[in-house]
Amino acid sequence: MKKIIIGAHVSTAGGLYTAFDRAQLIGAEAVQIFGSSPRAWRAKMPTKEECEKFKKEREKYSISHVFLHAAYLVNLASGNSDIFLNSKQSLIDHLSIAEMIGADGLIFHIGSSKGITRSEALLQEIEAMREIISRVPGKAKLIMENTAGGGDKVGDSIKEMGELYKKTGSDRLGICFDTAHAFEAGWVESYTKDSVKKLFDEFDKEIGIENLCAIHANDSMTDSGSYHDRHANIGEGKVGETGFRALFSDKRLHSIPWILEVPGVGDGPDRKNIDELNKIFK
Ligand SMILES: [Zn+2]
């Protein structure tokens, strides 16, 4: 059987290239990093030397995929024009960094339509995604991640994500499926063989399974339908070992990298979580 790729979000303290060493230490085969500070609007662009170092360093490790995660502040669906314009610029900058270092794509949260109607927010989001992609020529994908739902969250159903996907109309748009968020948004009551099949049948119909670029493999501290985003270590949350085993039962997910964002013992994904997922996937 083909081995599943399990990766992790890792720190880049000390330079972007340091991600690979941290990944290897915990046994991660794919990485997600922040291309610049996740807490700032303005991105610090890496120098040419830093980009070269990153690419050269990558060759020493067996890392299959590199993803960037966008800044926390980003909200392309916001009715506040300052927030919207800053979000758009931030995504342009971070997607540029992805392109510069040869990353596969930039994963971002779709956002929340505070201050405008849902249809205005969807239109704004679609136009902005088109602009971001056209402003950053290249191969790196702009990747929408599903949310834990609730409030004015946009793209809180597969159908609405599909609408965003189709209306943006770019093959450089991708999707990241977060196992905790989908559960928290109430897309499934629990992950079972049947509910997983049904979910990804719908995903395939509305979005196209070939557009799934990454899975965020997170357990959830909160219940299904809680709309409350709290990641838990693999097997220690409400998704549980049985939930991950059910997800694994869908062969369509076997070729996708599974990226952990779980807390570990507080510092983020660790070897214990990777081993746990490997054990479940056996
Ligand atoms: Zn996530």
In angstroms, how far apart are the furthest CA atoms of the chain? 50
The arithmetic mean of pLDDT across residues 108-123, rounded, is 96
pTM, full prediction: 0.97
Q: Is 9 a catalytic residue?
A: no
Q: Can you tell me which residue has the tokens 């790729």?
A: 5
The active-site residue, picked from 58, 65, 94, 216, is 216
Cα–Cα dist 210/57, whole Å? 29
User: From the candidates 104, 261, 270, 276, which is the catalytic residue?
Assistant: 261
DSSP letter string, 149-202: --TTBSS-SHHHHHHHHHHH--TTEEEEEEHHHHHHTTS-SS--HHHHHHHHHH
For residue 207, name the pLDDT band (cuts at 50, 70, 90): very high
Encode pLDDT of 179-188 as tens digits.
Answer: 999 999 999 9
Active site residue 181: yes
Cα(146) to centroid(ligand 1), Å: 8
- Compute the distance between CA of residue 42 and CA of residue 71 in angstroms, rounded to an integer: 10
Q: Is 72 a catalytic residue?
A: yes
Kindly state the average pLDDT of the residues 251-267: 93
Span 6-280: which CATH code?
3.20.20.150
Domain boundaries, the chain: 6-280
Instruction: Kindly report, residue by residue over 154-174, the tens digit of the pLDDT.
Output: 999 999 999 999 999 999 999
Q: Are 161 and 146 in contact (CB under 8 A)?
A: yes
Say how many Å lie between the CA of residue 60 and the centre of ligand 1: 27
Check residue 43 and give its pLDDT: 97
Neighbouring-strand partners of residue 232? 219
For the CA atoms of 245, 7, 181, 2, the dihedral, rounded to the nearest 10 degrees, stands at -40
Predicted confidence band of residue 79 (pLDDT cuts 50, 70, 90): very high
- Asked about 223 being catalytic, the answer comes back as no
Output the CA 178–ligand 1 centroid distance in Å.
5
Average predicted confidence (pLDDT) for the chain: 96
- The pLDDT tens digits of the residues spanning 208-220 come to 999 999 999 999 9
Catalytic annotation on 231? Answer: yes
Report CA(158)–ligand 1 centroid distance (Å). 16
Q: Is 184 one of the catalytic residues?
A: no
Give the list of residues 6+ apart from residue 169 with CB closer than 8 angstroms, or none.
130
Residue with tokens 């050269």: 56
- For residue range 17-45, list pLDDT tens digits in order: 999 999 999 999 999 999 999 999 999 99
Distance (Å) from CA 109 to ligand 1 centroid: 8
